Amino acid sequence: MKRIGQFIYSWGNGHYSRMMSLNDELPNYIKGEYEVHYSSKEEIYQKLLKKFPDKKQNIHEVLMPTPIDGKYGPSIFASMLNLLLPISGKPPLVKQVSSCLRKEAKLFDTIGFDLVINDGDMGPNVLAKNRKVKSIFVTNQFMPKFWKSHFYFYPGAVFIAKQIAKATKIIVADSPPPYTICEYNLNFPNKIKEKVVYSGHFASNKERSTKVKTDFEKLIENTDFGYWMRTGNKSTNALTGKKYEEVFRVEEVKNEKRIISHALNDPSIDRVLGKDGKVYSISDALEKKIDWVQIDVGFLTEEEKETTLEFCNYAVINGSHTVMGEIIGIKGKPIIGMPVYDEQTNQIRWVQEHKLGIGAKSKKQVIGAILEIRKDHAKFEESIQRFKENFVPNGAQTAAKIVAQMLEDKR
């Protein structure tokens, strides 16, 4: 039986969602029996346990080093101190790295992987190369450009790029050039380009189910609004929400209809704010035909997300790569990008240059972007249509084919 290791970085949800999309496709391409072992930590580790309750013996907790959360977003100061000092219950980074590599090395030696697939965790690339095991690194960044004020990230980025380059194959989860959203985060040197494959986005492009519509879907149908997405880990989600609330208080857009998805499986978040200033449940707002201005939803089902993207006029996001691909490439809607990290800034800059959306770092810029899209939505439509025609959504299928080929190839 062939054994595959999936090492999933736990910072954010994008790594997990990509691997689960790939996981769904593997049975369609791998010949014969195989088993998958999953490794991650914290929230992603818990998601894996919940998703695969009958495979707990194949789910491994590995304490991969991640940035230290601040109140809003990662704390750069605390994370840098953590290089040499224990911070927030985390040992010094040097100790974390060595401990993580020892645990991962033990998995390699006890399980005997035929292939490892790494999304965000570059340590297994090194371990695989040393053991002559084939490895795939799935990514949307290699050597990103940094804000001028973040020049001190450069040495670390160079080190990480060198470890990524040790993979047997690097799969970029994006459309091939010149339609590559993450172009400014790649910058591959010529010597490794032969191992790079642009697979396409690991985007959801499934047929909609015909199940009965929810009250939420009925409430928002045939309504013009903006879709404001809160995504990422806990601190990033909180920072994004704080920025959104600052915008909603400004007079110019106070009555701009909006739906905020919180990406938290918490029904207590669900509520509707009417233009009368009162708060209603979603069902009551539908029954009473409330003229609403804001709907907060903890967690949208796939069908509800599809309906939201179908009727929204634009989507406001922090620059998440997978989400950006789905919104622009599949749904054909412009985005307003409010970045938290450098790599998100790079992707939003690319989108803006190609007239697929607008970047906005300040409250004033966000308001200006909303008004611009409202005033001249048509100017984005031609560029978005051209991008949609060249958008490659089947990255998971392409990656699964590569996995199957590498397992069959004995060389």
pLDDT tens for the chain, residues 1 to 411: 999 999 999 887 889 999 999 999 999 999 999 999 999 998 899 999 999 999 999 999 998 777 776 665 666 677 777 777 787 777 777 777 888 889 999 999 999 999 999 999 999 999 999 999 999 999 999 998 876 656 666 677 888 899 999 999 999 999 999 999 999 999 999 999 999 999 999 976 555 555 789 999 999 999 999 999 997 777 778 888 888 999 999 998 889 999 999 988 899 999 999 999 999 999 999 999 999 999 999 999 989 999 999 999 999 998 889 889 999 999 999 999 998 778 889 999 999 999 999 999 899 999 999 999 998 888 899 999 999 999 999 999 999 999 999 999 854
Asked if 116 and 7 count as a contact pair (C-beta separation under 8 A), the reply is: yes
Token output for 263 = 């990406």
How high is the pLDDT of residue 410? Answer: 59
Radius of gyration of the chain (CA): 22
7 sits in which H/E element = strand 2-8
The 3-state DSSP class for residue 119 equals: strand
Phi, psi of 395 (to 5 degrees): -65, -35
Distance CA 197, CA 174 (A): 9
Tell me the sheet residues that pair with 2. Answer: 34
How high is the pLDDT of residue 73? Answer: 60
What beta strand segments (E) does 218-339 contain? 225-229, 258-261, 271-274, 279-280, 292-297, 312-317, 335-337
Q: Which residue's structure tokens are 């697939």?
A: 117
Dihedral over Cα of 289, 295, 298, 301: its sign: positive
Distance CA 10, CA 7 (A): 9
How high is the pLDDT of residue 387? Answer: 96
Asked if 188 and 196 count as a contact pair (C-beta separation under 8 A), the reply is: yes
Max Cα separation, the chain? Answer: 69
Tell me the sheet residues that pair with 337. Answer: 317, 359
Tell me the sheet residues that pair with 289. Answer: none
Give me the amino acid identity at 140. Answer: N
Beta-sheet strand order (sheet of 2-8):
59-61, 34-40, 2-8, 115-119, 134-139, 169-172, 196-198
